[in-house]
Structure 1
Amino acid sequence: MSDELVAALDIGGTKIAGALVDGTGALAAQTRRPTPARAAGSTVMAAVLAVLDELIASRQWPRVVALGIGSAGPVDASVGTVSPVNIPGWRDFPLIDQARQAVGAMPVTLVGDGVAMAAAEHWQGAARGCANALCMVVSTGVGGGLILGGLPHPGPTGNAGHIGHISVDLDGDPCPCGSRGCVERIASGPNIALRAVAHGWRAGPEGANAASVAAAARAGDRIARASYERAAQALAAGIAATATLVEVELAVIGGGVAGAGEVLFAPLRRALREYARLSFVQELDVVPAQMGTDAGLVGAAAAAARANGLTGFGAAAGSRPGQRVGQ
Structure 2
Amino acid sequence: MQSEGAAVRPATAEAPSGGRLVAALDIGGTKIAGALVDGEGRLLARSLRPTPAAQDGATVMAAVAEVLGELTADPAWVRVTAVGIGSAGPVDASHGTVSPVNVPGWRGFPLVERVREVTGPLPVTLTGDGVAIAAAEHWQGAARGYDNALCMVVSTGVGGGFVLNGALHPGPTGNAGHIGHISVDLDGPLCPCGARGCVERLASGPNIARRALENGWRPQAGQEPTAEAVAAAARAGDPVAAASFARAAQALAAGIAAAATLVEIEVAVIGGGVAGAGEVLFAPLRDHLRAYATLSFASGVRVLPAQLGTDAGLVGAAAAAFGGVLRARG
TM-score of Structure 1 vs Structure 2, range by shorter chain: over 0.9
The residue matched to 2:75 in structure 1 has which SS? Answer: coil
Amino acid at match of 1:27: L
Contact kept? 1:2, 1:23, Cα under 8 Å: no
Q: Is 1:199 the equivalent of 2:215?
A: yes
Contact kept? 1:67, 1:108, Cα under 8 Å: yes
| Number of the residue aligned with 1:299 | 316
What's the CA shift for 1:41?
0.1
The residue matched to 2:25 in structure 1 has which SS? Answer: strand
Amino acid at match of 1:148: L
CA deviations 1:173-197 (Å, max 9, x no partner) are: 1000000000000000000000000
| Number of the residue aligned with 1:275 | 292
2: CA distance, partners of 1:261 / 1:38 = 30
Q: Which runs of 5 or more residues in structure 2 are unaligned?
A: 1-16
2: CA distance, partners of 1:111 / 1:303 = 8
What's the CA shift for 1:269?
0.2
1: CA distance, partners of 2:223 / 2:117 = 42
What's the CA shift for 1:96?
0.5
2: CA distance, partners of 1:256 / 1:2 = 35
CA deviations 1:40-92 (Å, max 9, x no partner) are: 00000000000000000000000000000000000000000000000000000
1: CA distance, partners of 2:219 / 2:235 = 14
What's the CA shift for 1:152?
0.5
Amino acid at match of 1:53: G
The residue matched to 1:85 in structure 2 has which SS? Answer: coil
Q: Is 1:169 the equivalent of 2:185?
A: yes
What's the CA shift for 1:310?
7.3
| Number of the residue aligned with 2:77 | 61
Q: Is 1:290 the equivalent of 2:290?
A: no
Q: Is 1:246 the equivalent of 2:290?
A: no
Amino acid at match of 1:89: G
What's the CA shift for 1:104?
1.0
What's the CA shift for 1:107?
0.6
CA deviations 1:205-257 (Å, max 9, x no partner) are: 21111000000000000000000000000000000001100000100000000
Match of 1:233 among 245, 250, 263: 250
Amino acid at match of 2:311: D
Q: Please give the root-mean-square deviation of Cα atoms over the aligned residues, in Å.
A: 0.9
| Number of the residue aligned with 1:72 | 88
What are the within-5 Å matches in structure 2 for residues 125-164 of structure 1?
125-164=141-180
What's the CA shift for 1:299?
0.4
CA deviations 1:19-57 (Å, max 9, x no partner) are: 000011000101100000000000000000000000000
Match of 1:48 among 52, 64, 80: 64
The residue matched to 2:55 in structure 1 has which SS? Answer: coil
| Number of the residue aligned with 1:321 | none
| Number of the residue aligned with 2:277 | 260
Q: Is 1:221 the equivalent of 2:244?
A: no
Q: Is 1:309 the equivalent of 2:326?
A: yes
Q: Which runs of 5 or more residues in structure 1 are unaligned?
A: 312-327
Match of 1:89 among 105, 110, 125: 105
The residue matched to 1:173 in structure 2 has which SS? Answer: coil
The residue matched to 1:158 in structure 2 has which SS? Answer: coil
Amino acid at match of 1:9: L
2: CA distance, partners of 1:105 / 1:24 = 24
2: CA distance, partners of 1:105 / 1:141 = 32
2: CA distance, partners of 1:244 / 1:2 = 42
Of all paired residues, the percent bearing the same amino acid is 72
Count of matched residue pairs: 311
What TM-score results when the alignment is normalised by the length of structure 2? 0.93
| Number of the residue aligned with 1:314 | none
The residue matched to 2:318 in structure 1 has which SS? Answer: helix
Amino acid at match of 1:308: V
1: CA distance, partners of 2:41 / 2:266 = 25
| Number of the residue aligned with 2:37 | 21
CA deviations 1:103-130 (Å, max 9, x no partner) are: 1111111000000000000000000011
2: CA distance, partners of 1:310 / 1:249 = 27
Amino acid at match of 2:147: A
Q: Is 1:38 the equivalent of 2:38?
A: no
Structure 1 outlier segments of 4+, above 4 Å: none
